[in-house]
Amino acid sequence: MNRMPEPAQQERMLLVGLAGQPNVGKSTLFNLLTGLSQHVGNWPGKTVERKEGTLAHNKTRMRLVDLPGIYSLTAHSLEEQVARDFIIQEHPDIIVMVADASSLERNLYLLAELLILHVPVVLALNMLDVAEAQGIQIEAHVLEAALGLSVVPIVATRNQGLAELVAATGHLASNPDTFHPARPQIAAPHRQVLEQLKEMVAGQVPAPFDPDWVALKLLEGDAEITRKAKGWAGKLVWPGIEVLLRAHEDAVLDIASGRYEWIGRMVRAAVTRPRFGQVSLTDKLDRFAVHPLWGLVILFSVFAAVFWLTFTLAVPLQEWLDVTVIGQAREAARHLLADEPGWLAALVAEGILGGAGLVLTFLPVLALFFGALALLEDTGYLARSAYVMDRFMHALGLHGKSFLPLFLGFGCNVPAVMGARVIESRSGRLLTILLAPLVPCSARLVVLAFLTPAFFGTAALPVALALVVLNLLVLALVGIMLNQTLFRGQHMAFIMELPLYHMPNARAIGAFVWNNTWAFARKAGSFILLASVVVWALSYFPTGTLEQSYLARIGQTLAPLGGLMGMDWRMLVALIAGFVAKENVIATLGILYGQGGGGLAHTLAAQVTPASALAFLTVTLLFIPCLATVAVMRQETGSWRWTLFDVALLLAIALGAGILVYHGAIFLGMRG
Amino acid sequence: MSDRPLVPLEQLAPGAHAIVRDIRGGADFSGRLAGMGLAKGARIEILQNAGRGPVLVRTHETRIALGRGEALKILVEETSDEPDA
């Protein structure tokens, strides 16, 4: 029998925001709570990811919004602004704040800011196991009594305490009147000026902003609220406010220290620490990992190991897939389609299998690289690499944080450009984005890994390394040049938390590898497949022979330019096809040179001279970024001018370097 | 507060303990530091300082990397205490 809908109160969907500082296990908790119901989008008008999911527990149904990891609620970054806007504009029923028990005081700073916003909060105390391992004991019920709000101990990695957390959230939502937490008060010397400010802004602050909160943020020098308040107050009132604020510019320091004093009082009874601080594993490891000399040695060893693993494990596998699997599939396709029109067999064997099929053989290479990257990130090492690289990044006008997106660029330039969001200052972000395409991405590295053995045999590894070093030198030079000219005089603050080292989580790494390799496979199945078919069609029609094809005609128009770099038209066409996706360079070479047996490598070795090969590889590494990267650069910079400037700059550099390398190689006695 | 002289955090050697007394450089800078635990009155320990490049400090059980220029704007009073964790 069908029943009538439940009463409205039980049906109500709660809106719950999940807040927390970075590295507190918030994502793990979010994934556990929402499982497959997750939905990923963007915050309106912002380049920050918005993750949502739903969960039902007993009679509580919630829409859970994962807020970005933030240290405070003063809008220093897009993330903090997004989190703050969510709380003020969307009126969540409850905020669940996740705190890392092993650094409780610092975590509670965010709680202090949340409480000032008068939003109901449930505190999830995570990582109690980590705290205990450091000798820190926390009594949750004592903390609960002091703070006057629910404190639920959880261990997200072991799925403990989640039911209690959901129950506490549901309970608070049904009894909002019971929420009377302790709230931090402003230090005595500034109390009077705050009252004065409150009076001045009262009546001018529009809903949903709270005038008292606005007054406090003004005193804290919050840039966004200051700008807003200036508009609200108008020309008559604002000058008075401004004078008052200028006279109390130092208040911001006292407000922050006042919050920590309050936190100290809140946790005093609940937390027991070892009398003598023990040296943690993290500090022992950091003695080496961030040491000015050993840190560099470790950094280069780690990176060398990543690339060595890729070369020795994944590249032979790729070769086997190319020569044996794809080779046999092409034979089989020709055999099966022997009775069909000639162009159909050629399309399948040359266009599809020789192009997109060949690109798919690079999946193992990518999976291995992304696996290594995820492992470094998840253990906490990647943040150390930013620390070690900081002093070198300063030469480029950047700081250590920019190293992280740039390193990600070795996998793919698209996440590198998007990863530049971690840099707080606009000019630093822009400069990082402009330099990101100069990091040789895995697609270009596989072209390099595939072609250097073909051209240079046993000398392949040194040649490949030299080319990568040359590439990175160009990156450094461009960075220095831009820093001395367009970005002159911009200074960016380097402030970064180095998280505790911890055991990597196999599931998190697996998910990262899966997402990235699957994205690549999809690209091979769509973008690259389409490009392969187009390139093949241009190379086959109108007559069915390559020499008279449309492609040959396009290539021959550009032949004078290619001649300067020792490249024939087929190589030029391969470079141009690389604009769609860098993997197309190999796909196109596969189609254009693919007539011989025994795999593409042998055919190329027989037909291309070493000097031309070297020039070709140089230009491939430095050439204009792929279509996807250009699109993301436009999206992230918000400017076609900067995007096209960078594309033109890279084109000029690549062609210049190609000409130099070709003539240099001949000058040094290489066969041209 | 004692009469010990204030020095920029940048000048302290690894292993030194200190209390933050003043932060120059504006509301935005000090606000960002506050969220990470570095506020006026915070007890800190220098974990790494090679005389060039960034400085690594610990406060409230948090390890914070600071650029050299940033470390110059944080004025501290050296102590012989353990940092508060």
- Residue range(s) defining the domain that contains residue B47: 7-79
- This complex has an ipTM of 0.92
Can you say whether residue A151 is alpha, beta or left, with left for phi > 0 and alpha for psi between -120 and 50 degrees?
Answer: beta
Dist CA A657 CA A647 (whole Å): 15
**pLDDT value, residue A598:** 60
Single-letter code of the amino acid located at A319: E
Binary contact (A103, B26; C-beta < 8 A): no
Separation CA A443–CA A581 (nearest Å): 8
Judge: A222–B31 Cβ closer than 8 Å, yes or no. Answer: yes
Write down the residue that tokens 């970024």 correspond to.
A625
**Cα separation, B19 vs B82, whole angstroms:** 10
Residue B66 contacts residue A290 (beta carbons within 8 Å): no
Task: Among 3.90.870.40, 3.40.50.300, 1.10.3720.10, 3.50.50.60, name the CATH number for the domain at A8-178.
Answer: 3.40.50.300
When divided into structural domains, chain B yields a total of 1
The reported pLDDT for the residue numbered B40 is: 94
Nearest CA distance, A70 vs chain B (angstrom)? 8
Domain of residue B35, CATH code: 2.30.30.90
Query: What span, in angstroms and rounded, lies between the C-alpha atoms of A295 and A290?
Result: 5
Please give the average per-residue pLDDT across B63-84, as a whole number.
Answer: 86
pLDDT at A7 (0 to 100): 47
In-domain check, residue B2 = no
Spell out the residues 6+ positions from residue A645 whose beta carbon is closer than 8 angstroms to its own.
Answer: A434
Cβ-defined contact of A286 to B28 (cutoff 8 Å): no
**Min CA distance, B1 vs chain A (Å)?**
15
Q: Which CATH architecture does the domain made up of A188-272 adopt?
A: Orthogonal Bundle (1.10)
Which amino acid is present at A609? T
Residue B84 lies in a domain: no
The pLDDT score that the predictor gives to residue B82 is 53
Give exposure, A238-268, as e/b (b: 16+ Cβ within 10 Å). Answer: beebeeebeebeebbbbbbbbbbbbbeebbe
Considering chain A, tell me which residue range(s) the CATH 3.40.50.300 domain(s) occupy. Answer: 8-178
**Nearest-by-Cβ selection for A103 from B40, B60, B70:** B60
Q: What is the pLDDT of residue A88?
A: 93
Residues paired with A155 in a beta bridge: A160
* Two tokens, residue B46: 């220098």
Apex CA A341: angle with CA A335 and CA A345, to 5°?
Answer: 40
- Indicate the SS3 state at residue B45: strand
CB-CB contact of A494 with A390 (8 Å): yes
Q: A261–B41: do the CB atoms touch at under 8 Å?
A: yes
d(CA A413, CA A22): 24
Average pLDDT, 10 consecutive residues per value, chain A (672 residues): 47 89 89 81 75 85 92 85 92 95 94 93 93 89 95 91 93 91 88 90 88 92 91 88 90 92 93 74 90 92 83 78 84 86 83 78 79 87 91 86 86 82 84 94 83 85 90 93 82 86 83 78 76 81 78 84 88 82 79 67 83 93 86 86 95 94 89 72
Confirm whether B69 is domain-assigned.
yes
The sign of the torsion formed by the CA atoms of A612, A613, A616, A617 equals negative
Answer whether A72 sits within 8 Å of B85, measured CB to CB. Answer: no
Residue in A498, A500, A501, A502 to test binding to B, most B beta-carbons within 10 Å: A498
List the single residue in B58, B59, B66 with the smallest CB-CB distance to A495.
B66
3-state secondary structure A258-292: HHHHHHHHHHCCCEECCCCCCCCHHHHHHHHHCCC
Q: In 3-state terms, what secondary structure has residue A308? A: helix
CA proximity to A646, closest of A661, A629, A658: A629
Q: Which residue numbers of B have CB closer than 8 Å to A's CBs?
A: 22-23, 25-37, 39-42, 47-48, 50, 52-54, 56, 58-67, 69-70, 82-83, 85
Residue A518 is encoded by which pair of tokens?
């699957």
Contact between residue B67 and residue B4 where contact means Cβ atoms under 8 Å apart: no
Residue B23 in any domain: the answer is yes
Q: Is the dihedral of CA B29, B31, B33, B36 positive or negative?
A: negative
State CA A443 to chain mean position distance.
18
Q: What residues of A are in contact with residue B65 (Cβ under 8 Å)?
A: 290, 383, 386-387, 390, 400, 494-498
CA A147 to chain centre: 36
Distance CA A309, CA A318 (A): 13
- φ/ψ (deg, to 5) at A434: -65, -30
Q: State the pLDDT confidence band at B20, using cuts at 50, 70 and 90.
A: very high
CA distance A299 to A180: 50
Contact A221 B31 (CB under 8 A): yes
Judge contact between A537 and A351, C-beta under 8 A. yes
Task: Examine residue B1 and state whether it is found in any structural domain, yes or no.
Answer: no
In a domain, B48, yes or no: yes
Residue B58 lies in a domain: yes
A69/A87 Cα distance (integer angstroms)? 14
